[in-house]
């Protein structure tokens, strides 16, 4: 037993070390972003987080996947209570340490856990079918290459295996409760009892091996899953909460002014400009990730690549190269590249590449109509439009690289205060008759 405790502590410590290392990595890359002023009160933001991240409010625009996702989400939250018992059992060298304290309520809890385990298992099977057999188009877009598709499948298959391990452990455990006093009575467990006929004729030693293997497999699988999630698109499980809390509360049609431009205009007019924020480069728009706000970078790590934004994007629907999902994926990929260089002691921002041009092309950002369809569609309030606008501002104001038609419009706006080249006096001549 002591050997098992030591092995468990080593495994647990290794998982904690790897997770902490990855969390520090992600925090350092997100901190590359600029500061941001926030509107709204803490109460508004907390309400937003509870409704959208915790309550899954925006998921229910597509009812069937929403219900199945809700099963997985609730299962993730509730079954982790059982994982807590696993961890305490592993550290203390005990077995079902909560059972004597909870009495008959323990059996109720275990049946709830099993119901959720089966619900998660079935939901994952359905999602695998949708992705790989039905081939829902948004999961097979150009940016969804081999790795993004494999990442999603790995998560779903892992969850199926882990839920199967729980049911196997409980089935063998129920048989052992009638043969060995070491196994605490749990009462009848509805779903795992259907697996009992598979094991009831086995010898006790064989059942002990199966039960212990399932226990170790499940807890090591959970810890490995927790490490893997920090490298996966499923990091949204955790980051959806801060992302929705710090989401923009302004009306969706509102575009924020550029602080750099505001200060320049005030300076020209002789008005008080205030001090520039620490680390302010004075650049118009964004060329690389450090020109974006830290909330933009947080959102890039929160993106689960569901593709709802891209499937709603009118530019993408008409065959243009713009994909809001790709904008977020490219931003995250750029952050990962910079972070790895920083971890080796280098300066990742001076590697000869930038987010604009090397990851995201001008053709993509110029296709955006600023309609906010992607923002409305996102289940966790990610705003790809903010990144697109900042990149376009850089192209227009730093490179003068906008399309010729746009430059004519900009000039007309400056001279005539309208997109058209008419004087203010002639602008309504068309309405005279």
- Domains contained in the chain, CATH given: 8-35+235-250+281-398 (1.10.1060), 57-231 (no CATH)
Inter-axis angle of helices 294-302 and 236-245, to 10 degrees? 150
Assigned token pair, 371: 């309609």
Each residue's pLDDT tens digit, 239-281: 999 999 999 998 888 888 887 788 878 888 888 777 665 555 5
Residue percentage of the chain with pLDDT more than 70: 97
pLDDT at residue number 202: 95
Instruction: Give the burial string for 385-401 (b: 16+ CB within 10 Å, else e).
Output: bbbbbbbbbbbbbeeee
pLDDT at residue number 18: 97
Assigned token pair, 33: 């972003």
pLDDT at residue number 222: 93
How far from 391 is each of 135, 285, 399, CA to CA, in Å? 33, 6, 11
CA distance 9 to 332: 33
Locus of tokens 């009160």: 41
Residue percentage of the chain with pLDDT more than 90: 73
Long-range residue pairs from 248-257, CB within 8 A, at least 24 positions apart, any chain: 248/39, 248/381, 248/383, 248/386, 249/38, 249/39, 249/40, 249/44, 249/45, 249/48, 250/39, 252/372, 252/375, 252/376, 253/372, 255/370, 255/389
Assigned token pair, 130: 């949708």
Give the range among 120-129, 221-230, 381-390, 409-418 with minimum mean pLDDT. Answer: 409-418
pLDDT at residue number 368: 97
The DSSP-derived string for 125-167 is HHHHHHHHTS--GGGSSTT--HHHHHHHHHHHHHHHHHHHHHH
Which residues touch 21 (CB under 8 Å, ≥6 apart)?
Answer: none
CA distance 369 to 392: 12
Does the pLDDT of residue 417 top 80, yes or no?
Answer: no
- Bridge partners of 34, per DSSP, are 293
Each residue's pLDDT tens digit, 14-24: 999 999 999 99
pLDDT at residue number 429: 79
Task: For residues 385-400, give the mean pLDDT.
Answer: 95
Assigned token pair, 376: 């409305």
Report the predicted TM-score, pTM, of the whole model to 2 decimal places.
Answer: 0.90
CA distance 362 to 433: 43
Locus of tokens 């892992």: 158
Each residue's pLDDT tens digit, 114-145: 999 999 999 999 999 999 999 999 999 999 99
CA distance 332 to 181: 53
Each residue's pLDDT tens digit, 300-344: 999 999 999 999 999 999 999 999 999 999 999 999 999 999 999
The secondary element (H helix, E strand) that includes residue 345 is none
Closest CA to 224 of 79, 3, 12: 12
How far from 398 is each of 103, 276, 283, 286, 392, CA to CA, in Å? 69, 19, 8, 10, 10
Which residues touch 25 (CB under 8 Å, ≥6 apart)?
Answer: 339, 343
Count CB atoms within 10 A of the CB of residue 158. Answer: 17
């Amino acid at each position: 037993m002591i050997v098992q405790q030591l092995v468990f502590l080593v495994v647990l410590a290794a998982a904690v070390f790897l997770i902490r290392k990855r969390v520090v990595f992600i925090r350092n890359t997100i901190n590359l972003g600029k500061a941001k002023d926030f509107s709204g009160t803490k109460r508004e933001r907390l309400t937003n987080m509870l409704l959208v991240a915790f309550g899954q409010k925006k998921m229910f625009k597509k009812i069937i996947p929403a219900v199945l996702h809700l099963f997985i989400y609730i299962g993730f939250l509730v079954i982790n209570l059982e994982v807590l018992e696993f961890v305490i059992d592993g550290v203390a060298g005990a077995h079902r340490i909560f059972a004597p304290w909870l009495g008959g309520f323990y059996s109720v809890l275990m049946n709830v856990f099993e119901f959720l385990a089966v619900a998660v298992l079935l939901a994952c099977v359905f999602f695998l079918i949708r992705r790989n057999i039905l081939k829902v188009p948004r999961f097979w877009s150009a940016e969804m290459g081999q790795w993004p598709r494999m990442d999603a499948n790995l998560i779903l298959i892992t969850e199926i295996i882990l839920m199967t391990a729980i049911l196997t452990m409980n089935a063998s455990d129920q048989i052992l409760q009638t043969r060995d006093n070491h196994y605490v009575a749990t009462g009848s467990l509805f779903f795992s009892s259907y697996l009992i006929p598979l094991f009831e004729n086995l010898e006790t030693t064989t059942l002990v091996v199966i039960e212990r293997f399932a226990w170790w497999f499940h807890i090591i699988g959970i810890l490995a899953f927790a490490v893997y999630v920090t490298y996966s698109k499923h990091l949204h499980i955790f980051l959806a909460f801060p992302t929705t809390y710090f989401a923009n509360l302004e009306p969706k049609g509102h575009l924020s002014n550029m602080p750099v431009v505001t200060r320049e205009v005030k300076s020209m007019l002789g008005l008080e400009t205030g001090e520039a924020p620490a680390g302010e480069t004075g650049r118009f728009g964004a060329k690389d990730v450090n020109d974006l706000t830290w909330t933009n970078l947080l959102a890039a790590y929160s993106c689960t690549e569901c593709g709802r934004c891209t499937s709603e994007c009118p530019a993408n629907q008409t065959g243009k190269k713009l994909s809001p999902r790709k904008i977020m994926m490219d931003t995250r990929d750029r952050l990962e590249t910079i972070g790895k260089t920083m971890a080796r002691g280098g300066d990742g921002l001076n590697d000869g590449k930038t987010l604009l041009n090397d990851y995201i092309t001008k053709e993509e950002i110029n296709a955006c109509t600023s309609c906010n369809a992607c923002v409305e569609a996102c289940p966790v309030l990610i705003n790809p439009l903010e990144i697109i606008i900042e990149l376009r501002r850089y192209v227009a104001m730093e490179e003068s690289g906008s399309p010729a038609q746009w430059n004519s419009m900009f000039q007309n706006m400056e001279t005539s205060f309208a997109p058209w080249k008419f004087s203010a006096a002639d602008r309504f001549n068309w309405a005279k008759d």
